[in-house]
Amino acid sequence: MEKIKEYRLSPEALVMVAGSSIGTQKNFYEAGYWYKQNNVGYEGTAEYLVSKILSCSNIEEYVEYEKCKINGHDGCRSANFIKEGESYISLQRLYDTYHGGQLSEKIRLCDNIPDRIKYVVDFVLDITGLDITEQLGKVATLDMLILNTDRHFNNIGILADPVKNIFKNAPVFDNGNSLLSNYSLFPFDTAIENNIENAVGQPFSSNLEIQAKAFGFGLKINYEKLYKLLENEPESRALRTLLIQLDKYKDIIMDNSIER
């Protein structure tokens, strides 16, 4: 088993990051890498395991996370995914720039989930020319699998190159509030199966399965490859939860023909 690295970062590397509906982790940025300390549980482990899932999936662009210690605290590390000339624009920022207000509040006025999805897809398409339907569908299915309770319009976004007038999907990132990582929401003295039933999703529906179904379950995973990657992972609630979820949705998302 690979030894977990420890990184020592100066107070000057601390960055204030807003936008999470769960709570803000301590974020550091130094020499092209982001570092996040755990805040409500084992977010770093969740990020790490989810990036393993994504490495075996049909999602091509994603952020890879490394489990680590940051100034003595558990957390994770990832490379900056924004290239020179690009900027990350969250869907919330894009909406606020062109329409004003909170996108999450706007879609609550829609009668049903398909109408909420259509509103978001249409406004992004109108402004950027980018159709994000397929990407949203893959992310929604991922969130169903990993029980992500914190997918909001600040961690779904696009990459923009204003000089070249190019817009593309941002990689999938910020998956730490998944696999029951939040101790307060999912206590250790409650059975995993009961905690799974209590996972509440967003941004289009509180029911993660219904939300993914509305998109048609876009995510596919090479189970054979993923199980090999997980063989040597240490025992943890995060891993047990993932294995339960993989078994539950096997008939929907397994595709062992995926090659990366």
At residue 109, the pLDDT reads: 96
What confidence tens digit (pLDDT) does each residue in 211-227 have?
999 999 999 999 999 99
What confidence tens digit (pLDDT) does each residue in 189-214 have?
999 999 999 999 999 999 999 999 99
Mean pLDDT of the chain: 95
Q: Which residue has the higher pLDDT, 80 or 11?
A: 80
At residue 192, the pLDDT reads: 98
At residue 24, the pLDDT reads: 64
Q: Please tell me the distance from the alpha carbon of residue 63 to that of residue 76, in angstroms, as a whole number.
A: 12
Tokens at 150, concatenated? 């914190």
Kindly report the pTM of this predicted structure. Answer: 0.95
Answer yes or no: is pLDDT of 17 > 70: no
In the chain, where the domains are located: 87-219
Q: Please tell me the distance from the alpha carbon of residue 65 to that of residue 35, in angstroms, as a whole number.
A: 10
Task: Give Rg (Cα) of the chain.
Answer: 18
Which residues is 76 bridged to in the sheet? 36, 67
Closest CA to 47 of 174, 144, 236, 149: 174
Residue 174, phi-psi category: left (phi > 0), alpha (psi -120 to 50), beta (remainder):
left
Answer yes or no: is pLDDT of 18 > 90: no
Q: Does residue 189 sit in helix, strand or coil?
A: coil
pLDDT band at residue 15, thresholds of 50, 70 and 90? confident
